[in-house]
Every structure is written in structure tokens, then in C-alpha cells.
Structure 1
Amino acid sequence: MATSWACKGSRGGGAAAARQPVLLQHGVLVDGMTWLLGSPEESLPYILADQGFDVWIANNRGTRWSSRHVSLDPKSRSYWNWSWDDIVVNDMPAIVDYVCSHTGQKPHYVGHSMGTLVALAAFSEGRMVDKLKSAALLSPVAYLSHITTPIGVVLAKAFAGELISDLLGIAEFNPASPQVSNLVRTFCRKPGMNCYDLLTSFTAVRDGVLTKYDYVMPDANVARYGQADPPAYDMGAIPAWFPLFLSYGGRDSLSDPADVALLLDDLRRRGHAGDRLTVQYLPQLAHADFVIGVCAKDLVYNDVISFFRRFH
């Protein structure tokens, strides 16, 4: 298992042990540094620290800051033999445990994009909910049936994960590598493709429903799951008592408002309501605006902090 590394930051006075921890989880194709791309006045980690929180930033396995392994070399194919299900089952719970053990407190959680997908999948199976005080999910991803980016749709229908790793022999998705560059160039030549913003265009979806890893071959799925198709994560199984803050944008082509509405239906149908479910809709925001937008502090972060203070 690769180590998912969490870095810690604390500005201002006060002992770290007395400060409420907050864990930040980044999205797909980036690492924890994405939270720090703006100025200190605009970046969520600095804003949280200035408000008295003890800030921890996670990095998914395989990213620049999380590439170590107890026995495998990142250059080997075996090192990359994992799926995001492993992050759900192993990595994120381990990171949360790490923060809890070093602070003696339950942290709040902030996820963006894939950071929300991992959290929602984990919560739906009862993971981490007893170790966290609450979760703020920015651009939440649980359904992708309304995804509007053509390259995302094409890659999804082509079973992007298996196509890249199995057929082309590419383990790490490195956009600068010749193999991936050639693959993306091929997709981008297709009519209607807009490849100027891969951050919001590239994703791997199947039929719009969040499921466990698909081994493609029915026999392999049966051996792993006891059924021919991988089981779906049940968003309605997220405990109704667990506090959630969901913020999404009207110009988001990945976390589409119609798909967020499906997630909200699941949550409310099973009893999520009142102060345990806070929903913020911002029609002018796109996917990356929730992390690097200059207006995110005023439109999003202040409300996130107010939400956290309700569950101190």
C-alpha cells in the first residue's frame, strides 16, 4: 500500500492541540498543492488557519508528494495496480486516523471533486463518519449521468481506466508522457472536443452511477463481488445524523446541477435534513472555481467556516 501523506499547517498563535483540525482532500489529476495556488488571502488552507483551525492537506497515493511504498518502486507496474476503491477502503480512513491520533480530535473534512466522490463512497459504507465531525463537499460527485464534456464521455465509454493501464501499458496518468499525450491528442481531434481545460474535461465514468471498480470480465466481477456487474455505492445509506455541507455551481460541467439533485434526492429520501444537510447553489461558479476562484472566499469559504463552527 502506498503512503498517502498529509501535511500540516498552522498560522497564528495557539497550541496546535487546542485548534480544531480540518482535513482537505484534493480532486482528480492534481495533488494537495492545488489548495495553495491562490494568494494567502484567497486560499482555503490559509483562511482556515487564520480563523484558528489546524489545517491538514492530504495527497492521494501516486501523486508527487505521496509516492513512497514499503516495497514497490513507482517505476514498476505493480506499484500502480490499484483503483480509487483502495483510496475509499484503505487510504482515506488511514489519513483520518492519522490526523485523529496526532491531534486527539475529530477533524472536519473538506473535499473537492474526486475528494467528494471518495468521501461519499466511504460514508455510504459507514467509513469515517465516526471519526469526523462533519464534511464540506465542494462540487460533489456521486452521479455523472449529465456530464457535458465530450472528452469525458468518450473516455468513459472507452473504459478509460482499463484502456490506459491494460491496453496501452500506461500505469501512472502523467499528462506530459508521450503515451498519454498521444492518447489525448487522438481524442482531441474528434469533432466537438474541447481540450483546453483537461481539469474539468477528463474523468472516468461508466453509466453515470458511482460503482465499485469494474473488472470488465463478468467472471472477475463475480469472483470479487458475487455478481456480474460491480455493485453501486448507495448514497442513501449515508447516516442521516452526519452533518454535510454541499456547495455546487451552475456552470460546472463535471458536477452537473442535475446530478447533484440526484444525490440530494437520495440524502433527503433517507432522512438527511435540517442542520444536518446544508446546501449552497452558486449559479455563476464552475468546477475549479471552488478551489482557485478569486471569489471563493466570499461566496463559499465563509459559509464553510460558519458550518464548521456549528459542529465544534
Structure 2
Amino acid sequence: MTSKSGDVVFLVLLFFAIFKNAFGQNLAFRIDKDATSQGYPRDSLSNFTEFARNYGYAAEELTVITGDGYILSVFRIPKGKNCRGRVRQPPVLLMHGLLQSSDSWLDAGPSAGLAFLISDACYDLWVGNVRGTYYGRRNVRLNPDTDSQFWNFTSHDMGRSDVPAIIDYMLKETGSSKLNYVGFSQGARIFFIMCSETFGYCDKIKVSINLAPATRQKYVRSIPIRLLYQFYALIEPLLSSPRELEVSQKGGSIQKAFFFFCKDNILAGTVCRAALALINSYDPGSILTQTIRVLFGHFPGGTSARNLAFFGQNVISGRFQKYNYGTRKNLELYGTVQPPIYNLNRTNIPVVLMYSENDLLVDSKDVHWLSTQLSNLIESYKIKRATWTHLDNCYSQYTKITIFPKISEYLQKYSGLDL
């Protein structure tokens, strides 16, 4: 770590420590019912269905219950507003990244948000959410505010339970035997975990298109994110209450603070843009100021401390392996001292990887490693925009010309056959 970057990270962490100690849960950034009069963009205050309908897209909210009782909201746009032909089959499932939600696929607006673009290309689009987000903060037995057990999960559980439950629901509702999958970062990670840890579900997907897939995390270059992961890997065993175990939730002090300050056009284009660049690298002109004003209404969207610790363990070990509970419990659960690595050879369906050299959160070296582990890799595609960052995959104004053509190419290739 250079002295300069270390000083920047230290100051940012110090700021948040002082911020939390000074204000904590008592800090309130009031958002009235008529919040647009306070300068908040309408889209930032909208949930998925409201956001889509703001631009004339018909969207519906559906409820999926996982095998272990988590209640997830899943959204569907059966046909895009600009689709002029018949809806293509099979349906498409779009999965968000860490600390995001389904709303992240809308935040860039109808000209750039992938949920708009894919549905406009005449696909029956389903947009999922995982446990721990504000769309996955319910359980049939557990109360997230009082039951610590609710937060005892990682992306391993999302891959084993959340995605399979959504797939079953989609196929039942549409009558299709298969679907196409598009996952970003953690959304790609849980796809590979699902293929490794479940039987038959990988075979229900015709093609999986993975944007910045967060599997092995050995070469994460974002210093704040690397420190965040490692911090939770260190302290997670010491946490016990739901208040401690829920991290970066929507409506929490950090999200509300960013939402409050970033509604301002000047602050959004300067301070808030710099905050994104600090963790994400910088791509000049890629993410519009208006998008920054909107996205902080939905981001961060929450997860568990254990999930961040899981990412941290992967950073420390340099391996794409299961959760490390310590020697004694590892022996009980796995029969080995070290957690077993995920069996990527079980991902036997067509897979596309998309990555960039300027991504500080999912390094190209880790993507190259992943490509060598897959038995049916169709293409590992380097995004041509040299400055493309991790979060550009969701929020850039240029998605339509950078990543969507490749996504569309493979969705078309694997549509209309063997349904």
C-alpha cells in the first residue's frame, strides 16, 4: 500500500468511525412523503415496480420462498415498452452484485439500465434479489430485527437456496424447461456456487453470462474494499446481535447520509463521484451525475457481516473455498481441516465471462484463473473500454454500446431452441 493511498483510506475510515460514534442510530436524515420537494429525484424514491412504471414499463412483484424460509421479492418485466415483436424464449434471470438489489439494474435509466435494455430486446425478464437485501429481509420463522440466526448466511446459501428457488418459480410460472442467466459480481459468484453445490439446477440454464464474476478474490486491488472484507473476516466471530450482524442496510446511517448529501447535483458530481472512484477506480464521464443522485437511494442495500467475512476469507486465502469455521467445526462439517474449494468442473453448461483491466474489485487475473477452471467456456470477453470499472456494469451511461451487444449476442444465440 502506498503512503498516499494509505492516508486516504485511513482518513475515510476515521471519518466513518467519528460519524458513527457522534451520531449512530440517532442520526436522522428526514425524508418526507413529498420528498421530491426536498430535492430527491423521483427515481431514487421509487421501488422496482414504481421505477419501471415511471418510464412506461409494465412490471410486477412476485414472492419466492426459499427452502430455508427466506422470503424474496422477485420482479418481472414480461415485455419491454420498446419491444415491437414477439417475446423471445426462454426467460432471462438477472442477478445483482454485493450490497446491491434489483433496483441497481434500473438506476442508470431507460437508455442504459440493463433491465430496460434486456426487456426492450423482447425478453421475458426476471430480476432477482437475495437474502439480506431490503427485498430479502423477511423469513417465515425468523425476525431480522430480533433473531440473530436470520443473519447467519453467506453467498454460499444464496447459491444453494436463493437462486434455485427463483429458478423453480420462474420455470413453473413460464412453463419453460430452461432459462438464461445474467449475473454481476456476487450474482455470478452464486451461480458458480449453485452449480458446485446443487444437483440439476445448473442444467436448467442454457447459457450463463457473467459480468465481473467474483469467485476467487486473490487479487482485489481496491484498498477500501480489501480492508472492509478483511475487517469483517476478523471481527465477525465477535458479533452477536442482529444490529451488529446486519451490514450497510438501506435506511441505515451510511446509506441515509449518502442519500441525503448526494441528492444535491453539485455534491453528487464531485464528492459522491469521488467516493465511488475511491472504491471503484475512475472512468471519466461514464456514470452520469443524475445516476449518482438516483443510485444512492437504493445503495447500499444490505447484507450480513458473515457474508462480508466470507469474501474476506477468500481474499486472505486466495482460494475460492467454502466458509472457514475453524479447525474443529471444519472437521465436523467438511471432514477436513481446511474448507474444501468449490468444484467449478461441475459447471458444465455454456459460460461467458466479461471483465475489464480497470476493475479494482474483480481483477482480470482472477477472471483468467476462473476461465481455466471451466469445462465449457464459450468466451472470455475483455471489455473494450479501457477505463471500464466494476460498477460501470450497472451504472454507466455506455452499457448499451459496451456490454449489452455481447450480452445480446449470447442471449439470442441461446434463445428459441430446446425449450
Residue in 1 aligned with 2:125?
55
Which residue of 206, 214, 235 corresponds with 1:163? 235
Report the TM-score when normalising by structure 2: 0.63
The answer for the alignment partner of 1:192 in structure 2 is none
Does 1:151 pair with 2:258? Answer: no
Q: CA shift at 1:154, angstroms?
A: 3.0
Contact 1:2 1:62 in 2 (8 A): no
Return closer, same or farther for 1:307/1:178 CA change in 2, 3 Å cut-off: closer
| Aligned match of 1:20 | 90
C-alpha distance in structure 1 between counterparts of 2:131 and 2:280, whole Å: 21
How far off its partner does 1:168 sit? 6.7
Distance 1:209 1:200 in 2: 22
Structure 2 unaligned residues grouped into runs of 5+: 1-68, 257-273, 282-307
1:278 aligned residue: 379
Q: For 2:254 and 2:332, how far apart are their aligned partners in 1?
A: 32
Deviation at 1:265, TM superposition (A): 1.7
- SS of the equivalent of 1:74 reads coil
Kept in 1, the 8 Å contact 2:110–2:117? The answer is yes
Contact 2:213 2:367 in 1 (8 A): yes
Match of 2:196 in 1: 124
Instruction: Give unpaired runs (5+ residues) of structure 1.
Output: 182-194
Q: Residue 113 of structure 1 contacts residue 139 of structure 1 at CA under 8 Å; is this kept in 2?
A: yes
> Greater CA radius of gyration, 1 or 2?
2
- Residue 152 to residue 42, structure 1, CA distance change in 2 (3 Å): closer
Asked if the contact 1:110/1:136 (under 8 Å) is kept, the reply is yes
Seen in structure 2, the aligned counterparts of structure 1 residues 100 and 168 have a Cα distance that, compared at 3 Å, is same
- 1:42 corresponds in structure 2 to 112
User: Greater CA deviation, 106-115 or 199-208?
Assistant: 199-208
1-structure distance, mates of 2:381, 2:88: 30
Distance in 1 (alpha carbons) for counterparts of 2:394 and 2:226: 24
Larger deviation, residues 294-303 vs 126-135: 126-135
Which residue, 319, 322, 332 being the options, matches 1:209? 319
Write the distance in 2 (CA, Å) between the matches of 1:74 and 1:14: 43
Q: 1:2 maps to which residue?
A: 70
Indicate the residue corresponding to 2:248 in structure 1. Answer: 174
Matched with 2:275 is 196
State the shift of 1:74 in Å. Answer: 1.5
Seq. identity, %: 26
**What's the offset of the Cα at 1:210?**
1.4
1:90 aligns with 2:164: no
What letter is aligned with 2:376? Answer: H
Equivalents in 1 of 2:240, 2:358: separation in Å? 34
Change (3 A) 1:63 1:180: closer
Amino acid at match of 1:174: S
The structure richer in helix per residue is 2
How many residues align? The count is 289
- How has the CA–CA distance of structure 1 residues 16 and 7 changed in structure 2, closer, same or farther, with 3 Å as cutoff? farther
Aligned partner of 1:11 in structure 2 is: 80
| Cα distance, 1:292–1:15 mapped onto 2, change above 3 Å | same
For the residues of structure 1 that align with 2:164 and 2:279, how far apart are their CA atoms?
Answer: 26
CA RMSD of aligned residues (A): 2.7
Instruction: Give the counterpart letter for 1:309 in structure 2.
Output: Q
